[in-house]
Structure 1
Amino acid sequence: MTNEKRMPELRFPEFSGEWTNGTFKDFGYFYYGKSAPKWSLVNEGGTPCVRYGELYTKYHGVIRKVGSHTNISLKNLKLSNGGEILIPRVGEKARDFSKVSVLTLPDIAIGEMISVYNTKENPYFIMNYIRGKLTNEFAKRVEGGSVSNLYFTELENIVINIPSLNEQQKIGEFFSKLDRQIELEEKKLALLEEQKKGYMQKIFSQELRFKDENGEDYPEWEEKQLNEIVIYENGLAHENYVVKEGKYILVNSKFISTNGEVKKTVSHGELLAMKGDTLLVLSDLPNGKALAKGYFVSESNRYAVNQRIAKMRPIDTHPYFLFLILNRNKHLLKFDNGVSQTNLRKNDILHIKEFIPVLNEQKKISSLMENMDSCIIKISQKITLLKIKKQELLNNMLV
């Protein structure tokens, strides 16, 4: 079986024969949604609606429930019948325009910055075809600069290959179940992250305290300046040592901000991190998400610390507790003025004051948070693997 014959590499055994070839215009028709602007949104009452930005941030292929409502008059809205494919018409990144979703619900207002595709083919199959095979094809048709547009007239002549309705339905159901599994894992992750956030707030406000082995209260927390509990070192330049398969992983802001997913390696380490160190991002753009983000080192002599990254080793402090108080520290985030790039200095960090419990209470706090972080990492990795597997299946099951 070859793709030239319009037959997929991987197929359900009950199906055979070539897929049909045609354009979007051959298999359905487009139209635009109507007004549901941000100013019209209400918390109660109104008409449930989908806005274009939510296709990027909230929905991930299938819309089973909506949370937004508009007070725009019904006569000025475009309501769904159920089964429409929603395509964002406005965005910033060309490759994001293929993030389409099937709207399963009737009587939902569809926002004006959304292109709607209506087809008698299976909408779940078409949605997965767009998301899995047409990212580059959509991106090529995007117009504009920092804010781009994708008009449906540019999509009508795109050629797609489709099987019989029965095979479409089987493929659509298969990926719908896989998407549902990913969605459930993402909800589990969000719930655990929210739970961790709640524990952190209660612990560091001292609303939640631990007891010692005898059930007695630990001593009151003592205010300390960070220079009393850390040994600080600035990272060093490693750009000249970057190689394809180096001995050390280079810790830069991109590595930390992606939790280690985006990495470079170096052949030589000017400054190596040791187990128990906390590595902290010192520079970021205005309102960035990387400033003061920390990385906890779990293995010695594996990580080379780049410039604009701080390395901090604890003094008479539990290593993971130090990581907890440094990671996105609220005092350090105040240096971001939202206008210019922030560059934290050594003294900015070392002069911070924090309330610190005794070592045994630090250990109990750290144990709880490490266990939660471990669960978060495992779920995140599972989600990543599921998404990789889905893309592999899309490549093999679609022509």
Structure 2
Amino acid sequence: MTRLTPSAKPELRFNGFHGSWTICELGDYLTFKNGINADKDSYGSGYKFINVLDIINNDFITNELITGTVNVDKKTFEKNEVLYGDLLFQRSSENREEAGQSNVYLDHNNSSCFGGFVIRGRAKRKYNPVFLNYLLKTDLARKEIISKSGGSTRYNVGQDTLSEVKIYISGDETEQQKIADVLSAVDKKISFLKEKHALLGQYKKGVMQKLFNQEIRFKDKYGNEFPDWQEMPLSRLSVKVSSKNTDGSVTQVLTNSAKDGIVNQGDYFKKDIANQGNLGGYTIVEKDDFVYNPRISVLAPVGPIKRNHKGQGVMSPLYTVFRFKDQNLLDFVEQYFNTTMWHRYMHSIANFGARHDRMNITTSDFYALPVLIPSKEEREKIVAFIRVLGIKCEAVKKQLELTQTFKKGLLQQMFV
């Protein structure tokens, strides 16, 4: 743990503030209390009830943002009431780095209560609650809290350990307010960019569905309709890839992620799942091959089909690998498989059997998958339009990431 000196100064300060920040214990500013442990039938109605997810998923907490409720008597509620300016801490986590995460309650008009997996910190000395919320998210404060967490399978913090957490704090309320205002403004920008990115993503998804089900059609350069789309089975458009890595010469193991597409297995899982000495039965995939993963998820309710942009590698034999005969189709079918247009057919042929997390589909049924193919010129217009939308989404995503990095820098420099 970092050895803390009695006083220090942050790197970045507003004009007019020169004094050192002083070290103190969190218990000098807050008194702590554990929350309600009600029986399971008490949940689902009654008072708004703060749980761990409310702490993790929000920049700050208000009554409106709380999703849970608990039915308790008025005396119990008042004993566990959460008021404006109270700090809430996560008591335990499977991951040590997440133990003791905190948030602040910023609702002047409505109070709430809190659960047994949460610890409430209430002011016994005056502080700016927004400022203190940001302070507790700095690297130094997080390291202090994490270092005091205990446990083996789960990591816990308690009232006593939180009381002993050392923090550097400015005693000047004006400086606290200025720091809080700047970081709040950055958070508003981040929230705006998140919403903008989500809306662009929804718009792109909706437009893609309409393009591929032909609700939206382009016209040629003379303003005429393009020809009707042709329906063809996947077997006519592609060939099955079945080359095995019998000599073990290919060592890059790839996986098909519903969210990220074809990725290196070690990077995705942060460890190698496959045994490097037992890759002989794995299928060799080349750049621009397509891979179907039968594992279903929220993001891929019939399993994802993704294009390989990573280059040569090997995939588990559980995956279906196929290669399109016409390279001019690649960009179009890649976007097609990002829609849900083909999902109904997959549901119609699937036999889930005992594995409810995996689609069970015969090879012949899979390659009978019907694909509608427009003319080359219309395909190019569709792909170009989707690409423009993708560029806009990526631009907002990049702006969001830069703003988040900027905020992280401010947290490091505006606090000790």
Q: TM-score range by the shorter chain?
A: 0.7 to 0.9
> CA deviation digits over 1:118-161, x for unaligned, max 9?
23222222222222223343334445566554333332111111
Counterpart of 2:32?
30
Counterpart of 2:51?
51
Counterpart check, 1:294 vs 2:306? yes
**Partner of residue 380 from structure 1, selected from 372, 397, 400:** 397
Counterpart of 2:407?
390
User: For residues 1-399 of structure 1, what are the structure 2 equivalents within 5 Å?
Assistant: 4=5, 5-34=7-36, 40-41=43-44, 47-56=47-56, 58-61=57-60, 63=62, 65-66=64-65, 68=67, 70=69, 72-73=71-72, 75=74, 76-77=76-77, 78-106=80-108, 107-112=110-115, 113-119=117-123, 120-133=126-139, 134-144=141-151, 148-164=155-171, 165-206=173-214, 208-213=215-220, 217-230=225-238, 233=241, 252-253=254-255, 257-258=259-260, 273=287, 277=288, 280=291, 282=293, 287=297, 292=304, 294=306, 297=309, 303-308=311-316, 310=321, 312-313=323-324, 315=326, 318-327=329-338, 330=343, 347=363, 351=367, 353-359=369-375, 360-399=377-416
Q: How far is 1:307 from its partner?
A: 3.1
- Segments of structure 1 that go 5 or more residues without pairing to the other structure are 243-249, 265-269
Corresponding letter in the other structure for 1:226: L
Q: How far is 1:32 from its partner?
A: 2.8
> CA deviation digits over 1:101-129, x for unaligned, max 9?
22211424233022222232222222222
Corresponding letter in the other structure for 2:333: L
Compute the TM-score of the two structures, normalised by the length of structure 2: 0.72
Aligned mates of 1:337, 1:54 — CA distance in 2: 38
Q: In the superposition, relative to structure 1, how do residues 386 and 116 fare at CA in structure 2: closer, same or farther (>3 Å)?
A: same
Question: What is the Cα-based RMSD across aligned positions, in Å?
Answer: 4.2
Q: How many residues align?
A: 373
Aligned mates of 1:332, 1:140 — CA distance in 2: 50
Q: In the superposition, relative to structure 1, how do residues 283 and 187 fare at CA in structure 2: closer, same or farther (>3 Å)?
A: same
Corresponding letter in the other structure for 2:113: I
Q: In the superposition, relative to structure 1, how do residues 305 and 159 fare at CA in structure 2: closer, same or farther (>3 Å)?
A: same
Aligned mates of 2:151, 2:89 — CA distance in 1: 17
Q: In the superposition, relative to structure 1, how do residues 350 and 85 fare at CA in structure 2: closer, same or farther (>3 Å)?
A: same
Q: How far is 1:193 from its partner?
A: 1.8
Aligned mates of 1:158, 1:143 — CA distance in 2: 14
Corresponding letter in the other structure for 1:52: V
Q: Is the 8 A contact 2:88 2:118 kept in 1?
A: yes
Q: Is the 8 A contact 1:80 1:105 kept in 2?
A: no
Corresponding letter in the other structure for 2:112: A
Matched residue SS, 1:8: coil
Aligned mates of 2:351, 2:87 — CA distance in 1: 44
Stretch moving more, 157-166 or 127-136? 127-136
Corresponding letter in the other structure for 1:294: K
Aligned mates of 1:352, 1:83 — CA distance in 2: 61
Q: How far is 1:84 from its partner?
A: 1.7
Q: How far is 1:317 from its partner?
A: 5.0
Percent of residue pairs identical:
19
Q: Is the 8 A contact 2:290 2:322 kept in 1?
A: yes
Matched residue SS, 1:16: coil
